[in-house]
Structure 1
Amino acid sequence: MADIKSGPNPLFLREEDLRQGIELLFYAYRDFTAEPDAMLAKIGLGRAHHRVVYFVGRYPGITVTELLGILQITKQSLSRVLSDLVDQEYIAQRPGTKDRRQRLLTLTDKGVDLERSLSDAQRARIASAYRAAGAAAVEGFRTVMLGIIDAEDRAKFPPPGKR
């Protein structure tokens, strides 16, 4: 008699597997941020500064409003972090070309160096995990991560080859 399968095995949705997924995210985030956190601590900065430096580096000329939308933090929190980074000359601000009230943010040369040193270890960690997992697992990881983030942000991540 033929073995009739009714589709994928739903055992991965068991409570223990879901809890392990949550726990893996916590551990991964801890280890992913450990080295940059240590580097930042040496210069009196923290994880919030890292996020700002990363996204300003990723999107040069980003407005404060756009950055607030990505980070989902209060204006007051961003203002404090941004002031630190501007005062220490990691980020430069300039008025918008169409709206002079806008503040466009870019990394200075010093900021580019900081972003690179913070991200190098993270890129190496991701590259190593990707190589070990293989292309299919990387695409599966991408699918899972897209499923975790809010729907309105998913459009920011087009499929590979369509960027």
Structure 2
Amino acid sequence: MADGRPSAAISGENLLFLTDEQLRQGIEAMFFAYRGFTADPDRILADMAYGRAHHRAIHFINRAPGTTVNNLLNILGVTKQSLNRVLRTLISDGLVESRVGRIDKRERHLYLTDEGRALEGRLSDAQRARMRAAFRDAGPEAVAGFRQVLEAMMDSEMQRAYTRLKESGT
């Protein structure tokens, strides 16, 4: 960084030519990071006999209150049977409320109850703390690069869903 600009080794220029070993290391880092990212919520959920599917449902219902079951199916990419099993549990435990659609009575709109919002807060607080510390340590350029990499890894349908969620501002 003699002239104020990062060297090619740091800037990412050479990242277009990653070796298989470098890619393998990136894949492994992703696996271990995901383990760390999910560890705190997993501990909270284990006490309730819930799993990651419950967490994902709670997260996206919180992000888009009133979302339909079909929209949640598309976001999560799970089978209807799998999602129904998760939703049945969350509804019977008083964490999620299902309301009939005003326009289309066949639709079911999902909302977190106060108890559901409290659980979502505990789960996301743990993940935000981990992300905040990692982002702080890595710095703003690394954060921007990380987001670019994650977005580039999404297929086009997931990119659209992600963009809609970001633009919803909730």
Asked if TM exceeds 0.5, the reply is: yes
Q: How many residue pairs are counted as aligned between the two chains?
A: 157
Deviations 1:19-54 (A, max 9, x none): 011101100111111111111110111111001001
User: Relative to structure 2, which stretch is displaced further, 10-19 or 39-48?
Assistant: 10-19
How high is the sequence identity, in percent, across the aligned residues? Answer: 51
Divergent runs of 4+, >3 A: 160-163
Match of 1:67 in 2: 72
Segments of structure 1 that go 5 or more residues without pairing to the other structure are none
Match of 1:30 in 2: 35
Cα deviation for residue 152 of structure 1 reads 2.2
Whether 1:9 aligns to 2:14 is: yes
In structure 1, what is the Cα distance between the partners aligned to 2:43 and 2:34?
Answer: 14
In structure 2, what is the Cα distance between the partners aligned to 1:136 and 1:88?
Answer: 43
Segments of structure 2 that go 5 or more residues without pairing to the other structure are 1-7
Selected match of 2:89 from 80, 84, 87: 84
Match of 2:48 in 1: 43
In structure 2, what is the Cα distance between the partners aligned to 1:103 and 1:77?
Answer: 16
Conserved 8 A contact 1:90-1:108: yes
Identify the structure with the greater helix proportion: 2
Selected match of 2:163 from 146, 157, 160: 157
The higher relative CO (CA closer than 8 Å, separation ≥ 6) is in 2
- Structure 2 vs 1, CA of residues 129 and 68 (structure 1 numbering), >3 Å: closer, same or farther? same
- Structure 2 vs 1, CA of residues 150 and 108 (structure 1 numbering), >3 Å: closer, same or farther? same
Aligned Cα root-mean-square deviation (Å): 2.2
Cα deviation for residue 157 of structure 1 reads 3.0
TM-score (norm 2): 0.86
